[in-house]
């Protein structure tokens, strides 16, 4: 049994605190789902689900497929859009329950609440599984895959069996990568583990590791097929077209920036506590788990660090490593470090939820500059509908892909498009030739002005302004334009 879960008055208090943490996180998620307007990327991925395809421009297809299914069964609403986040949360907690029963048979309940509370208060997990982004599926399948890999290592090192768990881990790995490409970092960790853990070397003389790897790769068949039929669109975007790419020269400051971001993503207390790895998880069942979590954490972090030298790295790109670290948090944080780690994250999560639902201009030190633009889409939709009545036959567009998606969600109209020099999934759906000479109603704002779209029209003129009011004050405003005479831009 992990020392932190052994029965004592202090341990019981910490367990009670962990229960309150989980309940509080669930409460925040309910509040967010009910009150927060749809975010740009949430709407974007939802629209993907309404246009089924083998894959999509910058992400794999599993989330979109599931969102399409949700829409078919439950219809269009903010609640249904975020429904899958609850499915993945329930699945993650279910796996943690199984995990806790094995690591602490006599204190499984305490271990479950502690493991759950630690994982849900890893900042990047807390913030990026809240919304209906691909990350909530990635986290679920990462937890599932790590659990199954541990069961395999435990069984193989004990009795030389357990290959069924290995295939299960590979399938979960494949689904993690079909959810988000970062899942491949989990596979990198698995390869490093097999290469460096001597007790697993006999498996390399069997076909099972290779067949398991083939299974994980085979699950990516839709992505591979789609890219072969779409001119390798995903690979060109990530490795060629991304504006921040500079593969010919490393930038050491970007690497340093990634390391700083790592403290934010994992939480400084948890990340610094990782130095305790050599002194914790030393009992036989825990020792193999430590090897897995350390290997995945280091392999993923090293790979993303190298990538950060050549392109901008976003806060959540190393989430696989942070999940592995969070699963070790029960041992690394112990009784005392767990409380401040949880409190810091709960404060940040609370401020984030309030920012996205009530105070979009920022609150309590948390501010997302894009948050105000999530509000007011009902009013924008009404203004666009009015403009379209005055200009029948005009198609609908926006100057940015996420604005196009938010307008589409507000109007329940999947034919809204984005007209912008930056390529997106909309460019793959759009047929320019079919719209030559047509007019368009275009939504823009100060951050994404009409000049981004105007090269595609013979002329543009403002039709209306839509102020976005929250709490009695204007936090944003959108502009509605008429673009006349659609044409193919010379720069397109």
Phi and psi at residue 20, in whole multiples of 5°? -65, -35
Q: What pLDDT, on a 0 to 100 scale, did the predictor assign at position 160?
A: 82
Max Cα-Cα span within the chain: 76
Strand partners, 395: 440
Q: What pLDDT, on a 0 to 100 scale, did the predictor assign at position 265?
A: 96
Strand partners, 464: 480
DSSP code, position 455? G
Q: What pLDDT, on a 0 to 100 scale, did the predictor assign at position 361?
A: 86
Residues 6+ apart with CB under 8 A from 193: 149, 153, 200, 291, 292, 295, 296
CA atoms 224, 228, 229, 233: torsion sign: positive
Please tell me the chain's helix, strand, coil percentages from 3-state DSSP, rounded to the nearest 5.
65, 10, 25
Contact 321, 297 (CB under 8 A): yes
d(CA 250, CA 255): 9
**Nearest CA-CA partner of 440 in 468, 422, 420:** 420
Q: What pLDDT, on a 0 to 100 scale, did the predictor assign at position 420?
A: 93
d(CA 6, CA 55): 48
Q: What is the DSSP code string of 371-401?
A: GGGGS-HHHHHHHHHHHHHHSTT-EEEESSH
pLDDT along the chain (492 residues), means of 10: 66 94 98 97 98 96 98 96 98 97 85 97 97 98 98 92 96 98 97 96 96 98 97 91 89 94 95 95 90 97 96 94 97 93 97 95 90 96 96 96 98 96 94 96 97 97 96 95 90 51
Give the DSSP H/E element, type plus range, for residue 323.
helix 319-327
Q: What pLDDT, on a 0 to 100 scale, did the predictor assign at position 11?
A: 85
């Amino acid at each position: 049994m992990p020392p932190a879960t052994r029965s004592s008055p202090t341990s019981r208090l910490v367990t009670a605190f962990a229960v309150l943490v989980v309940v509080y996180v669930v409460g925040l998620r309910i509040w967010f789902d009910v009150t927060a307007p749809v975010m740009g990327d949430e709407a974007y991925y939802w629209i993907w689900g309404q246009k089924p395809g083998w894959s999509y421009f910058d992400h794999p297809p599993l989330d979109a497929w599931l969102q399409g299914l949700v829409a078919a069964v439950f219809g269009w609403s903010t609640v249904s859009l975020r429904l899958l986040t609850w499915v993945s949360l329930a699945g993650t907690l279910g796996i943690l329950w199984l995990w806790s029963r094995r690591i602490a048979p006599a204190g499984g309940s305490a271990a479950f609440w502690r493991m759950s509370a630690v994982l849900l208060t890893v900042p990047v997990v807390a913030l990026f599984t809240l919304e209906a982004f691909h990350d909530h599926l990635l986290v679920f399948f990462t937890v599932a895959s790590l659990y199954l890999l541990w069961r395999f290592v435990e069984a193989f090192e004990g009795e030389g069996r357990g290959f069924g768990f290995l295939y299960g881990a590979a399938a979960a790995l494949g689904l993690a990568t079909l959810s988000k490409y970062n899942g491949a970092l989990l596979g990198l960790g698995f390869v490093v583990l097999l290469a460096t853990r001597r007790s697993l070397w006999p498996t390399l003389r069997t076909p099972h590791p290779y067949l398991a790897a083939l299974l994980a790769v085979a699950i990516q068949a839709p992505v591979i097929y789609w890219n072969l039929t779409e001119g390798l669109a995903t690979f060109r975007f990530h490795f060629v077209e991304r504006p921040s790419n500079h593969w010919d020269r490393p930038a050491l400051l970007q690497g340093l920036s990634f390391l700083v971001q790592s403290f934010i993503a994992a939480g400084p207390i948890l990340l610094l506590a990782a130095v305790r790895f050599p002194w914790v998880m030393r009992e036989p069942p825990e020792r193999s788990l430590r090897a897995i979590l350390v290997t995945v954490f280091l392999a993923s972090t090293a790979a993303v660090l190298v990538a950060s030298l050549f392109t901008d790295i976003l806060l959540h790109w190393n989430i696989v490593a942070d999940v592995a670290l969070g699963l070790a948090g029960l041992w690394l944080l112990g009784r005392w470090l767990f409380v401040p780690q949880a409190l810091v994250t709960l404060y940040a999560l609370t401020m984030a939820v309030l920012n996205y639902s009530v105070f979009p201009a920022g609150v309590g030190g948390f501010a997302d500059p894009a948050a105000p633009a999530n509000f007011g889409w009902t009013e924008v939709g009404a203004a666009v509908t009015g403009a379209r009545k005055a200009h029948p036959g005009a198609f609908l567009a926006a100057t940015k892909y996420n604005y196009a998606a938010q307008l589409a969600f507000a109007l329940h109209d999947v034919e809204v498009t984005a007209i912008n020099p930056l390529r997106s999934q909309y460019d793959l759906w759009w047929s320019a030739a079919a719209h030559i000479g047509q007019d368009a109603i275009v939504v823009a704002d100060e951050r994404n002005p009409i000049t981004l779209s105007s090269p595609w029209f013979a002329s543009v003129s403002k039709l209306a302004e839509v102020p976005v009011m929250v709490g009695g004050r204007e936090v944003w405003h959108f502009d509605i334009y008429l673009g006349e005479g659609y044409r193919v831009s010379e720069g397109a």
